[in-house]
Amino acid sequence: MLTAIINLSYLVGALAFVWGLRRLSSPDTAKEGNRLAGIGMGIAIVATLVAPSGGGDGNYAWIAVSLVIGTGIGWRAAKKVAMTDMPQLVSVFNGLGGACAVALAGLELGQVANGMKETSTSSLAILLTTLLIGGVAFTGSILAYLKLDGKVKDEKIILPQHSGINMIFLLGLVVFAAYLGWSSGNISWLTIGMFTVLTLVYGLSFVAPIGGADMPVVISLLNSFSGLSAAAAGMIYDNQIMLVGGILVGASGTILTVLMCNAMNRSLLNVLIGGFGGTAAASKAATGDQNIREVGLADLAIQLYYSDKVMVVPGYGLAVAQAQKAVKELDELLENNGVEVKYGIHPVAGRMPGHMNVLLAEVDIPYSKLLDLEEANEELKTTDVVLVVGANDVVNPSAEDDPGSSIYGMPVLQVWNAKHVVVLKRSMSPGYAGIENPLFFHAKNKMLFGDAKASLQALVAEVKAQ
């Protein structure tokens, strides 16, 4: 009877995962989806604890203390983190999932090394795969966090021919794993330790050469790795809910990774070894008309107030300036005057998948106003004014007309097709890809320099005065 109840609980938990993931596909229902998935996880944890040997002999106290500590840390981290630091938080959470997989696989391999457990070649393969994927997810995610947070610079950790080194490194790890898996007699604490250290080092080396502009793809990929490591751990313990949850995370992360690569018109292999986002390629961006045209707040306010359609293109600079509330206020003022306001969202804008969607949803901007790349480009043809707030690489025309650019071929928001463009920016510094943007010198473009939040607040005041 107890087994039937536990299996039923696992089924309910799995359904909650699936439905919660489905609700996460829209900002309008994302909160509900997150809660639903959390409830499913809670059901799964309780079911596992009440299962025969679920808590082991006398281990419930340790489990309870761990749950309380983990819940407290997670709750505080999620409440305290700024929206600009959300990609870093996601990276750390991905890494912790990988670390758990490393710990579980390591303990199981340790029992094999001590002669406490006999295992088949297939079981050893699962353990070693779990250790490998978990190790890469752990240290790779930590390095991604450090790069996103500005604590580690790309040029200080990239070696000559680094991508080639990674391929040889991975091949060596696979050969080592095959050697260990050939027979359990090869398993000792020394070989386990060596393999674990090598996987952790490879995780760092794997992420090191990937350029800053590709970090959203990397975060998504590492998320899928953490899911796959959880699924592998589920196979180790024959736990259906770990297996289902891990597969869902791994599959969704993989699909998202592919979609983002498609959005940049690049293959995943090209992202992993191409490293755009590092040094700028030789291009024609620095040639031709280099005149900068600035716009005054009063003139821009009048232009916006009497427009028919305005589009806002948000980028990471918007998140850094915490300017989403000012954007919302400007939106409401213009809408009250009969101006149609839309938002052009590029799939890789920001530092993680969906970063801009989350940012705008935070201030209750309707999801119907958020246009994806293709929709936005169609709307731009009939748009009067485009406000580019903190975005750079996703509106760079070099992606379409400069074969020498490192982002050539990447689909971008064609803001230059609108009647007028205004870029809100602190300075003329390049974006995350490290390349110059010729849009700044375009005949239709004008610059509004300064902090995005302060500029938008001042612009709101000018619009109110109209």
What are the DSSP calls for 378-403, one per residue? HHHTT-SEEEEES--GGG-THHHH-T
Instruction: Give the C-alpha separation, 461 to 444, whole Å.
Output: 25
Structure tokens at 459: 């612009």
Residue 266's nearest CA partner among 206, 207, 216 is 216
Amino acid at 167: M
Instruction: For residue 389, report the phi and psi dihedrals to the nearest 5 degrees.
Output: -110, 100
How many Cα atoms occupy the beta-carbon half-sphere of 38 within 13 Å? 10
Q: Chain-centre distance of CA 27, in angstroms?
A: 16
Residue 411's nearest CA partner among 371, 380, 368, 377 is 377
Secondary structure tally for the chain: helices H, strands E: 17, 6
Pick the catalytic residue from 393, 401, 402, 451: 393
State yes or no: is 393 an active-site residue. Answer: yes
Instruction: Give the C-alpha separation, 194 to 203, whole Å.
Output: 14
Instruction: Give the C-alpha separation, 223 to 98, whole Å.
Output: 9
DSSP 219: H
Neighbouring residues of 466: CB distance < 8 A, sequence distance ≥ 6: 301, 302, 305
Instruction: Give the C-alpha separation, 222 to 249, whole Å.
Output: 11
Instruction: Give the C-alpha separation, 92 to 89, whole Å.
Output: 5
Q: Where does 56-161 have alpha helices with state H?
A: 60-80, 86-113, 121-148
Q: Which residues are catalytic?
A: 393
